[in-house]
């Protein structure tokens, strides 16, 4: 596969950092972006020390100005966009602050549209583009106390289908990768939040809430997600567009 310029959002930690590191190891140039500039630079620096190619940029996906500034600063064209930036808030709807509800949707749905809209003209001009949205098992099913997250992630699937149709006339694809739980700092915080919301120990959250619905019963790894992204970038996947790639250990086949 040709070396590609890949921009990953929310890449200062967790899934984004894992995907960026994995794809850099395959010889691609990574644009590591995060609202936390220092976190992005730490990941990019680690990639460079390992012999890879990377640059770091601050990026707030909820801001038109931030998106424009980041894309103006990149050192090379963006061939692949990985929309990963995300956050979580766990609360019953009656106790869910609406400003927090709106912010989750702004980051994980509106922000995806904003950044995708910004990179599409360049992809069209070069007649190549791959957009990989990091969805969730919650793009497909629901859990209590996560109304904003579930709504945003469900919306991502519909958004991807529309953009797939709008880009069908050129070699651009867009797909949504939907993993179950990946052991990240975000999930660690969810474990504590779920334990408080449900009134059960954290160990029980892991065994009874997170892993029990998965017949395989294991957390998803960064390596799996980087490998799936690499496949979606490849010529073999040029006709896979507008789809969800379910990485759920058998959850949704039951």
One DSSP character per residue, the chain reads: ----EEEETTTTSHHHHHHHHHHHHTT-EEEEEESSHHHHHHHHHHHHHTT-EEEEEE--TT-HHHHHHHHHH-SS---EEEE---------GGGS-HHHHHHHHIIIIIHHHHHHHHHHHHHHHHT-EEEEEE--GGGTS--TT-HHHHHHHHHHHHHHHHHHHHTTTTTEEEEEEEES-B-SHHHHHHHHHHHHHHTS-HHHIIIIIISTT-TT---B-HHHHHHHHHHHHSGGGTT--S-EEEESTTGGG-
Between helices 64-73 and 111-126, what is the axis angle to 10°? 30
One DSSP character per residue, 191-216 reads: HHHHHHHHTS-HHHIIIIIISTT-TT
Nearest CA among 233, 167, 244, 245 for reference residue 6: 233
Q: Are 175 and 240 in contact (CB under 8 A)?
A: yes
149 is catalytic: yes
Give the active site residue among 128, 149, 181, 251. Answer: 149
Where in the sequence numbering do the catalytic residues fall?
Answer: 149
């Amino acid at each position: 596969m040709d070396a590609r310029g890949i921009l990953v959002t929310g890449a200062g930690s967790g899934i984004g950092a894992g995907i960026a590191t994995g794809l850099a190891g395959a010889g691609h140039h990574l644009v590591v972006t995060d609202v936390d500039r220092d976190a992005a630079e730490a990941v990019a620096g680690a990639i460079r020390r390992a012999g890879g190619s990377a640059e770091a940029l601050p990026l707030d996906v909820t801001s038109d100005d931030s998106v424009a500034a980041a894309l103006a600063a990149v050192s090379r064209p963006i061939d692949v966009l990985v929309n990963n930036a995300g956050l979580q808030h766990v609360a019953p709807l009656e106790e869910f602050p609406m400003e927090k509800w709106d912010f989750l949707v702004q980051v994980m749905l509106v922000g995806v549209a904003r950044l995708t809209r910004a990179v599409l003209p360049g992809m069209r001009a070069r007649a190549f583009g791959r957009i990989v949205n990091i969805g969730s098992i919650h793009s497909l099913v629901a859990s209590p106390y996560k109304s904003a997250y579930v709504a945003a992630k469900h919306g991502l699937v519909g958004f991807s289908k529309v953009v797939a149709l709008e880009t069908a006339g050129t070699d651009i694809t867009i797909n949504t990768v939907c993993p179950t739980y990946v052991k990240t700092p975000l999930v660690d915080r969810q474990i504590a939040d779920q334990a408080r919301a449900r009134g059960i120990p954290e160990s029980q959250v892991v065994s009874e809430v997170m892993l029990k619905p998965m017949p395989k019963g294991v957390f998803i790894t960064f390596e799996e997600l980087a490998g799936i992204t690499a496949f979606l970038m490849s010529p073999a996947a040029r006709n896979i567009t507008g789809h969800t790639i379910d990485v759920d250990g058998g959850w949704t086949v039951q």
